[in-house]
Amino acid sequence: MIEWFYKHEKDKYGPFTAEEIRDLISAGQIKRGTLLRKHKFGEWLAAEIYTQFDWNEEKTHVRPWLRLWARYLDTLLCVCLIQVLDSLSMPFVTQVMDWIMYGPLLVPGTEEYVMAMIILLGWIPLESLLLSKVGTTPGKFIFGVKVRNPDGSKLSLRQACKRSFLVWWRGEAAGVPIIYLITYACGYQTLKKKLRQTTWDREMKVVVSHRPTSFWLEALNFLIVAGLVYYYFFG
């Protein structure tokens, strides 16, 4: 099997399979001018020389909606976890819930918004732990989204925590109503039209890839999304 390596500035990464190199191209980590070589002692050449890679293929691999639904599913599961802990009458969880619902500093009618903001903030340490230890989250696993370092390794806990915080702040606007719709739209434009990466992934030098699609996987994704939409509006 051919092993591939690529060079970014002074750092070398690899080995990768050809399929993994395609994922890195799709994620924008490897560009036409990036130095690439076959085998450990091969010659470093510009990646565009290797015509076996489709340089237009990247257009089909940036999938912001899948990433959004994966995050929404993770958030929904976090809500379910909080509800289970609350039903078990765990003192700390019960006190937090009571403060949210009946706190004296709360403006009447804003309980649901405050709860949503707290859930998004509380998801940061849990997501960071999952990404660093398991390498994925339930939502990302189901929708086939991978978050990795350029060399294919899992993020460290510190990396994962910083990335999750940047997503919460830049992508979700800390859950502030209306504002997060603006940040979602900006994130979509940046990912789909401009950088082909989100600003936080670009800053963290993180590669986000997707598993190859098929009719059955797309059908399953559609059913999952339909279920999430139904739960959101009628659950």
pLDDT in tens, 90-146: 666 566 656 555 555 555 666 677 777 888 888 999 999 999 998 899 999 999 888
Over residues 57-69, the mean pLDDT reads 73
Residue in this structure with the two tokens 């995050």, named with its chain if needed: 71
Q: What is the dihedral of CA 84, 86, 87, 89, to 10 degrees?
A: 130
pLDDT of residue 158: 95
Sequence length of the chain is: 235
CB count, 10 Å around CB of 197?
20
Residue-averaged pLDDT of the chain: 81
Cβ-contact 174, 120 below 8 angstroms: yes
- Averaged pLDDT, 183-203: 86
Q: Which of 173-177, 192-196, 221-225 has the lowest mean pLDDT?
A: 192-196
For the entire predicted model, the pTM comes to: 0.68
Taking 3-state DSSP, the helix, strand and coil percentages for the chain, each rounded to the nearest 5, stand at 60, 10, 30
Mean pLDDT confidence for 183-199: 86
Q: Contact 200/163 with Cβ under 8 angstroms?
A: yes
Query: Where is average pLDDT lowest: 93-102, 189-198, 201-210?
Result: 93-102
